[in-house]
Amino acid sequence: MPLPSLLTQHIARRPQRITLLQHIAEQGSITRAAKAAGLSYKGAWDAIDELNNLAHKPLVERAVGGKGGGGARLSEEGQRVLRLYQRLQALQAQVLEAAEDVSDLDLLSRLMLRTSARNQLQGTVCGITAQGRNDLIDLDLGAGLSLSAQITHESTDNLELAAGVQVLALIKAGWLRLHDAAGPVPTGENGLVGRVEQVIEDPHGPTEVRVGLANGQTLCALEDAARVEDLGLAAGKDVLVSFAPGFVLLGTPL
C-alpha cells in the first residue's frame, strides 16, 4: 500500500522529524535521539505521536520509563518511511534544478498545510448526512473507531468530500473532555475510549493527558488538574474522551 499523501507531505516539509526517526533507529533511545535531533524530550514525543497518527501503522515502537527515558525502535513501517525519505531527497534535488523561478518554490511552500491543533487524526469518509446548511461527516479511524465532524455544506463541496476520501481531522487539545471509561458519552458528542499513556502536570496550567487509541493513534487532552485527580487518571487506566462534532476541523491534501 502506498504511503498516505498526508504523511508524505508532512515529512517532506519537516525534515527534523525524519532526523529524529534516524537517530531513534541508530540509538534506540528517545532521550538521546531527541538531543541529537535538536528537540526537547517532550517535543520528541509530540513529533512521534504526530507521525504515528498520520501513518497507517505506528512508525515508532516505544517503552515508557527506564533509565534513559524509555527505549524505542522503528517499526517495519518506520524503516520503510526512512527509505522513502531518502528517495524524496534525491527527487527534491532534481526539482530544485528544474524550477524555472525561485517564486515557484515559494508558492509551493505557502500551499503546504500547517496547524496549531495538537490532535491530527487520519480517517476515511464513510458517510455524509445533510443537516440544513451543515453536513455531518462520519469518519472511519480504523480498529472499530469513528468520529463525526460538523462542517458547512460549502466546506464539504470545497474539500470535495465523498465516501472513501482520506482526510485529516484536527482537534485542539483544549476541546477534549475526559470522563470515566464506563460512563455514557455526552449527548450529541463524539466519544473515543482509550488508555492513558502519560499524565504531564503543569503547576501553571492544565494537565496534559496523552491517550492511546486502539488504532495506534494518540490523543492529547488538556484537563483541569482537579478533574484528572477525581478520575484517578494515570498511565494504564482507560478513559473516555469526548468532543463536539463542531470542534472537529477537516483537511485534505491539495
CA neighbor of 176 nearest in space, from 160, 189, 158: 189
Higher-pLDDT residue of 86, 204: 204
Q: Residue 218 CA to chain centroid, in angstroms?
A: 7
State the cell numbers at 116: 496549531
34 and 43 Cβ atoms separated by less than 8 Å: yes
Question: Which range has the worst mean pLDDT, 62-66, 109-113, 131-135, 158-162?
Answer: 109-113
Mean pLDDT of 19-33: 88
Domains in the chain and their CATH numbers?
5-111 (1.10.10.10), 115-254 (2.40.50.100)
In the prediction, which pLDDT does 109 show?
46
Q: Which residues contact 50 (CB under 8 A, 6 or more apart)?
A: 10, 17, 120
Tens digit of pLDDT for each residue in 107-117? 554 444 556 67
**Gyration radius of the chain over CA positions:** 19
Does residue 5 register a pLDDT over 70?
A: no
State the cell numbers at 147: 468520529
Tens digit of pLDDT for each residue in 55-103? 778 888 876 555 545 578 888 888 888 888 777 766 666 665 655 565 5
Higher-pLDDT residue of 78, 192: 192
Please report, for residues 9, 77, 186, the alpha-carbon distance to residue 240 in angstroms, rounded to integers and kept in the order given.
31, 29, 10
